[in-house]
Amino acid sequence: MKNLISERVADFIKNYPPFNVLDNTSLFQLAEQVIIVYKEKNSIIFTVDENQHSHFYMVHKGAVTLNNPATSNILDYCDEGDIFGLRPLFANENYKLEARAHEESIIYGIPIDLFKPIAKQNEQVTIFLMESFASNTRNPYAKSQKGQLYDIEDNEEINKEVVLPDLQLASYSKKLITCSTRTSIQKAAELMTKKQIGSILVVSKELPVGIITDKDFRNKVITGKQPITASVKTIMASPVITYPKNLTITQAQMAMMKSNISHLVITEDGTPNTAALGILSKHDLMVSLGDNPAVLVKAIKRATRTKKIKQLRKSIMVLLAGYLEQNIPLGIIAKIISELNDTCIKQVVEISINKMGSPPPVKFAWLALGSQGRSEQLLHTDQDNALVFEDVPEEDLPKTTTYFLELSKHVTKALNVIGYEYCPADMMASNPKWCLSLQEWKNKLSYWISNPGPNEVLMSSIFFDYSLAYGERSLLDNMSDHIFRTVDKYPIFLVHLANGALQSPSPTGFFRQFLVEQDGQHKDFFDLKSRALRPLIDAARVLILSHSVKAISNTWERYEKLAELEPNNKELYLACSYATKALLKFRTKQGLSHHDSGRFIELEQLTKQEKMKLKRTFKAIKEIQELITLRFKVTNILG
């Protein structure tokens, strides 16, 4: 009779090292003897100096931390599939660390006496376990992350001193044209003419030994110093200057200036001892500089047609992908991309005004709402915007409104052309509901705040994340002042806004299983926006509004400000700031990879490490929602 529990254990452990290299017989023999341990949150698995257990452990569900109680430091974080407690396998001594359930967990205990002979018969298993024990980490293949709760690549603090000009990788030509040292100058020239190139690489035994450029022909052949029948060896520049493929634009510029050359050879390890991958010329460098933020800003401002801006936005996406690939802190990336996007919008408005045939009758402001208003819109998503114009006499209001509605239609159409989809809910300035005079906006805002039903709270939550994209800032400031004055008069609004912030579905269920969509187009996908990002965004909004803080709409900047205002909650707010950036970075990478908004994630396509990164942000979501529930006493209005 089959043992279903043992089969399930075997099916799980075979996916993780070192069990993934065992034969089926050994695997099932081991699975039959595995003990299953349930641990509540914060319960101890073993303590420092505790006698050795007869098992070492593997996390099946939940998470376990390895701690040094003397310093209160978390030295490692073990998630699903990670092993820990290996000391009894190698050393006849008590435990040196404490193992504690970081959350409700199910753990497999693998019997040491049964496992030792299996490990001895398998060299790969032995090496893995020895390296894991020696490096004091559950995975010796990730030693650089030992003792780090968050991965280095997501740590904003490490990269604070980054200088922007050094960020971009230089693009080089991978279509190599080569010749040998014995090739004649004439044949080399004919080959360069045929291929329409300005340089040719000279190789010996497939390794780069020299390079010839048009300049060499002018200085050494046309002048008569060398006949065209001589070999290229007589005129080539040697040795070649080589660099690895991850060369930045600034490094390339410095290298060319230092050696007074116009070409660099790119090799696998950056030395002449490996085969060439390509050649980087000054021309390539100028092309790379076309994706420089400062150059792009100038090009956008010079654009007189919407289609030109559309082309330039493609360069912005190239820039974004490059920054993510180089692991630049998201705070820096967001500022650069948001500034470029704002420049695009400003130019679109300018072009649209020119199409109107007459200038605006009064001052106005074009407002970016939602993710764009928070400077968090990195990918091409839908547009959320509004327009506010100066108050005019009542008799002039219809005519003035008509002008700005027509202008808004030009702008939203142009934004659609350059890559912003129309808002499905029609929350755009081309909708008369979102194109109003200052007084009309004040009346609408007052109504939302004083009559906070579900729809009014939803409208408020969208509108309160706004920034000036174009026009008169005083109009924006006037609206902000009105919002805070009205909220002070109707404090119950904050309770309703807090209630709205708690309506997002939970990211995980029992034992931290991802909760996925149950039906519809995205069935079995994880909704990163609704289940992870939105709860953090909504919480930051209501908390910052409760402090009457103006002019901060970005979510992580809101949390950083809250950390200043509430030192007792500083750790939680900074964790929420980190989580927001980590989730947005993850969504952006997914969107670029799949050419979509990155909102819906197919979990089967994620690596274990990616799943771990996501889950590490969920603790902050849970805790910030608990804080809101207590602070605003939301349960009083729930029914």
pLDDT tens-place string over residues 206-227:
899 999 998 889 889 998 899 9
Q: What pLDDT score does 136 carry?
A: 45
List, for residues 379-406, the tens digit of each pLDDT value. Answer: 878 889 999 999 999 999 999 999 999 9
Q: Report the side by side order of strands in the sheet with 467-471.
A: 435-437, 385-389, 364-368, 467-471
Question: Of 254 and 174, which is predicted with more confidence?
Answer: 174
Average pLDDT, the chain: 84
Retrieve residue 620's tokens.
């902050």
Of residues 299 and 221, more confidence is placed in: 221
Comparing 73-87, 125-139, 312-326, 492-506, which segment has the lowest mean pLDDT?
125-139
The CB density around residue 392, as the number of other CB atoms within 10 Å, is 17
pLDDT at 153 over 50: no
Task: Work out the average pLDDT over 465-485.
Answer: 90
Band (168; pLDDT cuts 50, 70, 90)? low
Is residue 150 over pLDDT 50? no
For residue 606, what pLDDT is reported?
A: 84
Q: Are 549 and 560 in contact (CB under 8 A)?
A: no
pLDDT of residue 232: 94
Cis upstream peptide for 140 (omega within 30°): no
Q: What is d(CA 431, CA 73) in angstroms, rounded to the nearest whole number? A: 55
The whole-angstrom separation of Cα 366 and Cα 369 is 10
Beta-bridge mates of residue 200:
212
Per-residue pLDDT reduced to its tens digit, 128-147: 666 555 444 444 333 333 33
For residue 408, pLDDT over 90 is answered with yes
Cα maximum dimension of the chain? 95
3-state secondary structure of 307: helix
Q: Which of 80-94, 346-360, 487-501 has the highest mean pLDDT?
A: 346-360
pLDDT band for position 358 (50/70/90)? very high
283 vs 489 pLDDT, higher one: 489
Q: Which residue has the higher pLDDT, 244 or 144?
A: 244
pLDDT of residue 353 exceeding 90, the answer is yes
Is residue 283 pLDDT above 80, yes or no? Answer: no
For residue 301, the tally of other CB atoms under 10 A from its CB is 12
> CA-CA distance, 590 to 115, in Å (whole number)?
40
Q: Quick check: 351 pLDDT over 90?
A: yes
What is the number of residues in the chain? 639
pLDDT tier for residue 187 given thresholds of 50, 70 and 90: very high
Write down the pTM of the prediction: 0.62
pLDDT for 512 beyond 50: yes
Q: What contacts 279, CB < 8 A, 6 or more positions away?
A: 172, 173, 176, 199, 201, 211, 263, 264, 265, 266
For 424, phi and psi rounded to 5 degrees? -60, -30
% the chain with pLDDT above 70 = 89
Look at residue 166 in the predicted model and tell me its pLDDT. Answer: 46
CA distances (Å), origin 320, targets 326, 332, 379, 385, 577: 10, 11, 9, 23, 21
Please give the pLDDT value at position 602.
87
Q: Which residues contact 374 (CB under 8 A, 6 or more apart)?
A: 465, 467, 537, 553, 554, 555
22 pLDDT above the threshold of 50: yes
Kindly state the average pLDDT of the residues 505-519: 73
pLDDT tens-digit series, residues 445-470: 999 999 888 888 878 777 788 889 99
pLDDT in the model for residue 265: 93
Question: What b-and-e string marks burial along 316-339, b requiring 16 or more CB atoms within 10 Å of the CB?
Answer: bbebbebbbebbbbbbbbbebbbe
Highest mean pLDDT among 391-405, 442-456, 471-485, 573-587: 391-405
| H runs (alpha helix) in 177-248 | 185-195, 214-216
- Locate 329 and state its tokens: 């802190």
Of the listed ranges 124-133, 308-317, 549-558, the least confidently predicted one is 124-133
Residue 105 has pLDDT above 70, yes or no: yes
Please write down the long-range contacts of 500-503, taking CB distance under 8 Å and 24 or more positions apart.
Answer: 500/454, 500/457, 500/458, 500/461, 500/538, 501/461, 501/535, 501/538, 501/539, 501/541, 501/542, 501/625, 501/628, 502/535, 502/625, 502/628, 502/629, 502/634
CA-CA distance, 77 to 151, in Å (whole number)?
11
Cα separation, 445 vs 326, in Å, equals 43
Alpha-carbon distance of 639 to 628, in angstroms, equals 17
- The answer to whether the peptide bond before residue 239 is cis (omega within 30 degrees of 0) is yes
Whether the predicted pLDDT of 233 surpasses 70 = yes
Predicted confidence at residue 3, as pLDDT, reads 66
| Nearest Cα residue to 507 out of 590, 591, 624, 615 | 615
With 50 as the cut, is the pLDDT of residue 443 above it?
Answer: yes
